[in-house]
């Protein structure tokens, strides 16, 4: 298959993972990235000349990368330095109420008991057991496999697994399911936040997202150099296996001939032939025709009301006073439902936001650095960046509300210079077609899981990777999507080779 040419559009972690997987099997792979840097959402921004991680900050499910590197004949540990975290995150609601969660379930149960009482500690243990069951039920037939329909998923788990599939409460919302384990509203808020890992509201997301609790207990690591370094490591693996990476290469359209992919055309007019293309772009961009009208039907038109959350982020260097930040700290709003109503129904930045802070110079288990430190501050926002401009007054009001929330919990920041702010408008510009949505289609309702497209499309030779497709958003899931796209492409090439003259199977998307 050495003569077969594959183009990967986009050097996000999904595209880079696909490129590494394909290049390792001898395919001729070229990755085209319109930006001047690789990594997609895994990016760092200069703040006063200091790089601050501005994208994902939590690393889990390392087995995805262990397997990716091993399949390419390399060792993940040799390329990336990880440090395991025993302290997962620190949480605060006000100046008094604080709770740390740990990788060790017993340590977290003790902390929950001290925070909210013995009954809540027992509920936490039951919650962790259920989260583990959800993950075990879904890892093989869902996370590791091609995108299933509801019937496919039932068939994959088999008769012996139907009971487990039913127990994971596929039709319940995460918020309602949490009520079976916790009476304390603060704990429901804490664990309901897992929905935001997929850009969703806990009041509309499925209960299956409780599996995030198990994923974190299985291991959270900090990456030396930040998660942007992880993207560089996967790109390096792909290049060592023969892939070519071109930055500043803006793909204007995917070219088709006789109904199948034939290559791509760049914005400057250059045409590159290919036997197959993997689009590591949001499916909404494809569906909107931003990669050409010939392949628009292979994408997805995601209405604004069905988009996942966007964000407003601040990258800065500052001295932190009055509150002992952990590497990951969350400062919760007083009314979670009102916060999500403001974002998803009011389509505005919440007046009382939940604030996530990543203190990047603190060790995985805490410890205060000397002097100023690198910080990423994030609040959830509506994904309206493609339709309206968030004006300066709205942004300033959000920053004021954000600082007020931190102050209420005892944290004072003394910036050493101006922050670098990214709004939904900025994310919409970075990721065209999304309106600023960071996670594709929102995971709202039990059917949302099955609305995400799989690796194969209705256009023969065109495949999809990234956080907007199966198995979902987040660094490891997006990387897994790249592996699934690579596997589908290889299987189809092999099938074509066995049947001379046959067209490559492109599959059929469920819309």
| Region 300-316 average pLDDT | 94
| Region 51-77 average pLDDT | 97
| Region 29-41 average pLDDT | 97
Task: Give the model's pLDDT for residue 40.
Answer: 96
Task: Give the model's pLDDT for residue 142.
Answer: 85
Task: Give the model's pLDDT for residue 98.
Answer: 98
463 has pLDDT over 60: yes
Task: Give the model's pLDDT for residue 108.
Answer: 98
Which CATH architecture group holds 5-47+61-80+225-303+439-498? 3-Layer(bba) Sandwich (3.50)
In the chain, the percentage of residues whose pLDDT exceeds 90 is 84
Report the distance separating Cα 503 and Cα 1, nearest Å.
Answer: 16
According to the per-residue pLDDT averaged within each range, which of 78-87, 169-178, 500-509 is highest? 78-87
- Asked if residues 14 and 203 have their Cβ atoms less than 8 Å apart, the reply is no
Which residue is it, tokens 């919409």? 428
Stronger pLDDT, 500 or 18, i.e. the higher one:
18
411 has pLDDT over 90: yes
Which residue is it, tokens 């300066």? 392
| 3-class SS of residue 61 | coil
The pLDDT confidence band at residue 265, using thresholds 50, 70 and 90, is: very high
Which residue is it, tokens 């929905």? 195
Give the mean pLDDT of the chain.
Answer: 92
Task: Give the model's pLDDT for residue 486.
Answer: 98
| 3-state SS track over 96-124 | CCEEEEECCHHHHHHHHHHHHCHHHHHHH
| 3-state SS track over 421-479 | EECHHHHHHHCCCCCCCCCCECCCCCCHHHHCCCCECCCCCEEECCCCCCCCCCHHHHH
Task: Give the model's pLDDT for residue 490.
Answer: 96
Task: Give the model's pLDDT for residue 501.
Answer: 45
Lowest mean pLDDT among 320-329, 334-343, 501-510: 501-510
Give 90-130 pLDDT, tens digit per residue. Answer: 999 999 999 999 999 999 999 999 999 999 999 999 999 99
Strands 373-381 and 310-321: antiparallel
Task: Give the model's pLDDT for residue 507.
Answer: 34
Any idea where the domains of the chain sit in the sequence?
5-47+61-80+225-303+439-498, 110-218, 309-430
511 has pLDDT over 50: no
| Region 403-413 average pLDDT | 97
Task: Give the model's pLDDT for residue 2.
Answer: 47
């Amino acid at each position: 298959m050495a003569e077969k040419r594959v183009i990967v559009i986009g050097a996000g972690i999904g595209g880079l993972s696909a490129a590494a997987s394909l290049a390792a099997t001898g395919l001729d792979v070229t990755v085209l990235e319109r930006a001047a840097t690789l990594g997609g959402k895994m990016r760092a921004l200069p703040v006063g000349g200091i790089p601050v991680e501005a994208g994902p900050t939590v690393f889990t499910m390392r087995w995805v990368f262990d397997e990716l590197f091993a399949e390419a004949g390399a060792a993940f540990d040799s390329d990336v330095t990880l440090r395991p975290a025993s302290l997962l995150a620190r949480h605060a609601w006000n100046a008094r109420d604080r709770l740390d969660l740990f990788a060790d379930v017993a340590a977290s149960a003790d902390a929950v008991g001290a925070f909210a009482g013995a009954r809540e500690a027992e509920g936490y243990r039951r919650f962790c057991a259920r989260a583990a069951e959800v993950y075990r039920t879904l890892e093989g037939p869902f996370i590791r496999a091609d995108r299933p329909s509801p019937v496919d998923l039932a068939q994959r788990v088999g008769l012996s697994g139907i009971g487990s599939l039913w127990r994971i409460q596929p039709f319940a919302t995460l918020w309602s399911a949490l009520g079976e384990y916790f009476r304390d509203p603060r704990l429901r808020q804490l664990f309901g936040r897992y929905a935001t890992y997929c850009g969703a509201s806990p009041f509309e997301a499925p209960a299956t997202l409780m599996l995030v609790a198990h994923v974190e207990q299985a291991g959270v690591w900090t990456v030396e150099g930040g998660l942007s370094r992880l993207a560089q490591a996967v790109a390096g693996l792909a290049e060592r296996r023969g892939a070519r990476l071109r930055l500043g290469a803006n793909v204007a359209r995917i070219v088709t001939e006789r109904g199948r992919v034939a290559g791509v055309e760049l914005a400057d007019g250059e045409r590159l032939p290919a036997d197959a293309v993997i689009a590591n772009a949001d499916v909404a961009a494809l569906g909107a025709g931003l990669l050409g009208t010939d392949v628009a039907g292979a994408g997805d038109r995601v209405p604004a009301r069905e988009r996942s959350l966007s964000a407003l982020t601040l990258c800065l260097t500052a001295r932190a006073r009055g509150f002992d930040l952990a590497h990951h700290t969350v400062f919760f709003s007083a009314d979670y439902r009102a916060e999500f109503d403001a974002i998803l129904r009011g389509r505005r930045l919440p007046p009382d936001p939940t604030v996530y802070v990543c203190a990047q110079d603190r060790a995985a288990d805490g410890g205060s650095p000397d002097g100023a430190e690198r910080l990423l501050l994030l609040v959830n926002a509506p994904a309206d960046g493609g339709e309206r401009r968030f004006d300066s007054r709205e942004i300033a009001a959000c920053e004021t509300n954000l600082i007020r929330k931190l102050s209420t919990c005892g944290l004072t920041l003394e910036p050493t210079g101006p922050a670098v702010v990214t709004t939904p408008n900025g994310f919409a510009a970075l990721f065209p077609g999304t309106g600023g949505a960071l996670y594709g289609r929102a995971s709202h309702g039990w059917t949302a899981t099955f609305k995400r497209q799989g690796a194969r499309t209705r256009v023969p030779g065109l495949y999809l990777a990234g956080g907007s497709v199966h198995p979902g958003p987040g660094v490891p899931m997006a990387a897994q999507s790249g592996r699934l796209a690579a596997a589908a492409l290889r299987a189809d090439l092999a099938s074509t080779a066995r049947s001379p003259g046959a067209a490559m199977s492109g599959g059929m998307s469920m819309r």
